[in-house]
Structure 1
Amino acid sequence: MPEGDVVFLAAERLRAALVGETLTRSDFRVPRYATVDLRGQVVGSVASYGKHLFVRTETVSIHTHLKMEGSWRVFHCGQRWTKPRVTARLVLGTAEVEAVGFDLGLVEVLRRADEHTVIDHLGPDLLGPGWDPAVAADLLARQPELPIGSALLDQRNLAGIGNIYRSEVCYLRKVHPARPVAEVGDLLALVNEAHRVLYRAAHQPPWRPLVYGRARRSCQRCGATIRVDLLGESAPRGDQVSRRERGIYYCPKCQVIPE
């Protein structure tokens, strides 16, 4: 699943292409909004919050979520699309460009006043201007028995982190992902690490993971063999655990649960 850095960068691309421009085309390829016509409206802003993205005109907020396979791409008018046209779920066009959302997991049109309802339940946005590590640490601490690997994935604690970055953050902090939140110790340092990793990925690409996707390879710190497990049970297919199963990568030597 695309994580907060991918959505942040998508918002930047859409912002550069659409903000201040008048829509000449709005093609919603989802039944509920098939008749919505935003032609003539000016795009006022584009923003991301965690894994959520908003394109705002003067009257509505177009809310999208990439889910597992979604992506946003921008093309010059007349340019050939680089993905099958049948996978497009939303097209926003101006006199010069077409912004196309492919395989979007969620598309909805909200009143501007209602936009907050889809993010009110989320924790602080790791890449947002209102990022507050103290709030994120406090939210994590409210589930002391939960494995930290699961708590980091809960968007109600901090928004934008997914399987890649929870693996990386636990590795960098030398915390076993199955360790209960109450036993992690310095939660503030951990959430600050999460912010640092995502910020670097969003602002200094390309970024290469240290542990994610490296099952059966050597740990860069100690040389032990990296593993990928489901929390609480060994993954039977080694590094073939699907992303839907959310296998988490870790070093069994560097990240040990104290007895």
Structure 2
Amino acid sequence: MPEGDTVFRTAERLRLVLAGKTLTRSDFRVPRYATADLVGERVDEVGSYGKHLFIRTGRVSIHTHLKMEGEWRVFPCGQRWTKPRVTARLVLATDEVEAVGFALGKVQLLARAEEHTVIDHLGPDLLGPNWDAAEALRRLERYPARAIGLALLDQRNLAGIGNIYRSEICFLRRVHPETPVADIPDLPALVEESHRVLGKAAHQPPWRPMVYGRTRRPCPRCGTAIASQLLGEDDPADRITQRERGIYFCPRCQPAPA
């Protein structure tokens, strides 16, 4: 699943080609908004919050979420798309370009005043201008017995971390992902590590994982073979998500909690 850094860079890319431009065509390929027409609307700005992306005009906010496979691509008008047309869920065109959202997990058209309703429940945005480390810490501490690997993935605590970065952050702090929040030696430092890692990934790509996806390969610190296992909530109805939640760690640098 694309994480906060990917969404942040996507917003930057769309901002360059859409902000200040007037829409000459809009094509919502989702039943709920099939008749929506934004022709003539001027795009004021494009922004992100965690894994959520917003394209704002004077009247509305177009909210999209990439979920597992979503992606935005930009094409000069008239150029052939490089992904199957059947997967396009939203097209926004100006005189110069077509911005196409493929396989988007969520598409919503909101009044500007209602935009907050889709992010009010989220924790502080790790890549936002108003990042609040104290609030993120407070939210993590509400559930002291929860495994830190699950707590980092919960967008209600910190917005933007996905499966890749929770493994990387725990590795950098030498913390096993199953360690309860209350047993983290320096939780404020882990929160700041999260902010640093996401910031570096967003502003200085590409990010090269040290442990994620490197099962049985040597740890970059001690040479021990990297291990992986599933870590998720105990919910039988969540089996598909469980498969996507493999964590990676060094058994030596990150010993399991007692």
Q: TM-score range by the shorter chain?
A: over 0.9
The structural deviation recorded for 1:106 is: 0.1
Which residue pairs with 2:251 in the alignment? Answer: 252
1:165 aligned counterpart, secondary structure = helix
Which residue pairs with 2:162 in the alignment? Answer: 162
Q: Aligned in 2, Cα 1:132/1:71: closer, same or farther, shift over 3 Å?
A: same
User: What amino acid sits opposite 1:46 in the alignment?
Assistant: V
The structural deviation recorded for 1:242 is: 8.4
Which residue pairs with 1:177 in the alignment? Answer: 177
* Partners of 2:178 and 2:257 within 8 A in 1: no
Cα distance in 2 for residues equivalent to 1:121 and 1:252: 35
Structure 1 segments, 4+ long, off by >4 Å, are 241-244
Cα distance in 2 for residues equivalent to 1:111 and 1:68: 26
What are the residue-to-residue correspondences of 1:46-195 with 2, within 5 Å?
46-195=46-195
Which residue pairs with 2:221 in the alignment? Answer: 221
Normalised by the size of structure 2, how large is the TM-score? 0.95
Cα distance in 2 for residues equivalent to 1:64 and 1:149: 26
* Partners of 2:228 and 2:248 within 8 A in 1: yes
* Partners of 1:178 and 1:232 within 8 A in 2: no
User: What amino acid sits opposite 1:156 in the alignment?
Assistant: R
What are the residue-to-residue correspondences of 1:24-35 with 2, within 5 Å?
24-35=24-35
* Partners of 1:47 and 1:54 within 8 A in 2: yes
Which residue pairs with 2:208 in the alignment? Answer: 208
- In structure 2, the gaps of 5 or more residues are 234-239
Q: Deviations over 1:109-142 (max 9, x none)?
A: 0000000000000000000001111111111011
2:32 aligned counterpart, secondary structure = helix
Identical amino acids, percent of aligned pairs: 73
Q: Does 1:41 align with 2:30?
A: no
The structural deviation recorded for 1:245 is: 3.1
Which residue pairs with 2:21 in the alignment? Answer: 21
The structural deviation recorded for 1:249 is: 0.4
Cα distance in 2 for residues equivalent to 1:66 and 1:110: 17
Cα distance in 2 for residues equivalent to 1:205 and 1:232: 28
User: What amino acid sits opposite 2:107 in the alignment?
Assistant: V
Cα distance in 1 for residues equivalent to 2:142 and 2:249: 24
Q: Aligned in 2, Cα 1:54/1:148: closer, same or farther, shift over 3 Å?
A: same
The structural deviation recorded for 1:232 is: 7.8
The structural deviation recorded for 1:258 is: 4.6
Cα distance in 1 for residues equivalent to 2:247 and 2:61: 35
2:139 aligned counterpart, secondary structure = helix
User: What amino acid sits opposite 2:244 in the alignment?
Assistant: E
Which residue pairs with 1:236 in the alignment? Answer: none
Normalised by the size of structure 1, how large is the TM-score? 0.95
Cα distance in 2 for residues equivalent to 1:6 and 1:172: 21
User: What amino acid sits opposite 2:219 in the alignment?
Assistant: C
The structural deviation recorded for 1:184 is: 0.5
Cα distance in 1 for residues equivalent to 2:37 and 2:59: 12
Q: Aligned in 2, Cα 1:76/1:244: closer, same or farther, shift over 3 Å?
A: farther
Question: What is the RMSD of the two structures over their aligned residues, measured on CA atoms?
Answer: 1.5
- In structure 1, the gaps of 5 or more residues are 234-240
Which residue pairs with 2:236 in the alignment? Answer: none
The structural deviation recorded for 1:244 is: 4.2
Q: Aligned in 2, Cα 1:160/1:213: closer, same or farther, shift over 3 Å?
A: same
Which residue pairs with 1:238 in the alignment? Answer: none
Cα distance in 2 for residues equivalent to 1:80 and 1:197: 36
Q: Aligned in 2, Cα 1:86/1:126: closer, same or farther, shift over 3 Å?
A: same
